[in-house]
Amino acid sequence: MNARKARQWVERRKITLMNDRPSDTHSGTGVTESQSRPARGVEVPLLEHVAPLSGEYPVWFCDIWGVVHDGVIADEVSCDALIRHRKNDGVVVLVSNSPRPRPALLRQLDELKVPREAYDDVITSGDVTRAVVSRRAGCKVFHLGPERDAHLREGLPVSFTEPEQAELIMCSGLFDDRTEQPEQYRDMLRQLAERNLPLVCANPDLIVKHGEDILPCAGALAKIYEELGGEVIMAGKPHPPIYEEALKKAEAAAGRKVEKREILAIGDGMGTDMKGAANFGIAALFITGGISSGALDEHGLEEVVRQVREAAPGINLVGVMRRLRW
């Protein structure tokens, strides 16, 4: 089965699962006075402004997609908050599950009009993926993902080959995340898992909000691969390596050692941003305006907090916001 045949196989097995996609029902961003107070029995506040957290947590590990932009355009309010935090002697490291390596991500941020003044540095799961694959120099690798992620392959000391010759899978997503669903890949993934090939997942996210659309990510394929008994190496959030790299970048930007108690993780992913913060032992601020858009209006603060804590046991959740606002 070569790469072209694999692609054709997925096309032939295309199924319609659009009705199973999560919907975006968020109807506004206003916060009333009553909403800004903690719900009964919930000590985690619904915040209108992030400024009070700036002094307490001088280092922010901020998610990108769903907080800083929606895949189409930058969120000016969120970017302004990051800029103001940096002017308040804070440090911002953007931590992303994007499969794009740092140079490609910087180009994308520029294209989406995210100001360079909004952050000190970035670290991506693509960077961590490349580091993992680089440690297997000479290996034959099958890249499962869209051609737009070709930059992920550049300069690696491995050879990229067809699935039947591969010794390792580098997964950055579906071939076409706008027309396909992860279940279409199950048979192909089963054949690869039967050969005991490790799969390096360059984007652990299950889904992403792109404008008004919800699209599947590489994490959804990795989940199926694990179900089939395959070995998965997760390169991004919520796993420690990406946070360890973010900490190095924060210390370089601050010019000093940074303690974990000084760090605030900001993100919209319960199973990635929030769980990653809990795993790494840092405080977290949950943003509901991304993939969880509409959650507050539909379920209320108490239920949102419960869901976050269920997804990220032991989390130090210091607040919930609809949108990152100074």
User: For 59-73, what is each residue's pLDDT tens digit?
Assistant: 999 999 899 998 889
What pLDDT shows up at residue 297? 85
pTM of the model: 0.76
What pLDDT shows up at residue 25? 32
Residues 258 and 109 in one domain: yes
Residues 153 and 224 in one domain: yes
Q: Which residue has the tokens 């959740």?
A: 317
CB burial of 189-214 (b: ≥16 within 10 Å; e: otherwise) equals beebbeeebbbbbbbbbbbbbeeeeb
Instruction: Say which residue, 266 or 41, is predicted with more confidence.
Output: 266
Q: Which residue has the tokens 């990795």?
A: 222
Instruction: Say which residue, 281 or 207, is predicted with more confidence.
Output: 281
Token pair recorded at residue 42 = 């919930």
- In the chain, how many domains are there? 2
263: phi then psi, degrees, rounded to nearest 5: -105, 140
Q: What is the mean pLDDT of residues 154-173?
A: 97
Q: What is the mean pLDDT of residues 205-211?
A: 81
Residues 79 and 174 in one domain: no
Among the listed ranges 34-43, 92-101, 203-212, which one has the minimum average pLDDT value? Answer: 34-43
Last residue of a domain, one of 234, 256, 279: 234
The three-point CA angle 46-50-53 to 5° equals 105
Q: Give CA–CA dist 40/20, Å, rounded.
A: 33
Query: 144 in helix, strand or coil?
Result: strand
Q: What is the mean pLDDT of residues 174-201?
A: 96
Across the chain, mean pLDDT equals: 88
The answer as to whether 154 is a domain residue is: yes
> Would you tell me how many other CB atoms lie within 10 Å of the CB of residue 176?
13
Among the listed ranges 42-46, 164-168, 233-237, 254-258, which one has the minimum average pLDDT value? Answer: 42-46
Residues 56 and 135 in one domain: no
Residues 136 and 228 in one domain: yes
Q: Which amino acid is at 276?
A: G
The answer as to whether 223 is a domain residue is: yes
Q: For residues 173 and 148, is the Cβ–Cβ distance under 8 A?
A: no
What pLDDT shows up at residue 212? 74
Report the run of H or E that residue 159 belongs to, with start and end: strand 159-160
The answer as to whether 24 is a domain residue is: no
Token pair recorded at residue 83 = 């800029």
pLDDT at 7 over 70: no
Last residue of a domain, one of 234, 262, 283: 234
What pLDDT shows up at residue 29? 30
Residues 145 and 62 in one domain: no
CA pseudo-torsion sign 153, 239, 207, 250: negative
Last residue of a domain, one of 234, 249, 269: 234
Residues 166 and 151 in one domain: yes
Among the listed ranges 11-15, 128-132, 179-183, 265-269, which one has the minimum average pLDDT value? Answer: 11-15
Residues 134 and 210 in one domain: yes
pLDDT digits (tens, 9 = 90+) for 26-38: 333 333 333 333 3
pLDDT digits (tens, 9 = 90+) for 120-142: 999 999 999 999 999 999 999 99
Q: What is the mean pLDDT of residues 298-311?
A: 94
Residues 246 and 118 in one domain: yes
Alpha helices in 208-326 (DSSP H): 218-227, 240-254, 275-280, 295-299, 301-311
Fill in the DSSP letter of residue 38: P
Closest CA to 94 of 114, 116, 66, 122: 122
Q: What is the mean pLDDT of residues 169-191?
A: 96
Query: 169 in helix, strand or coil?
Result: strand
pLDDT at 108 over 70: yes
The residue range of the domain holding 197 is: 127-234
Residues 119 and 242 in one domain: yes
The answer as to whether 230 is a domain residue is: yes
Residues 117 and 161 in one domain: no
What pLDDT shows up at residue 6? 56
CATH of the domain at 80: 3.40.50.1000
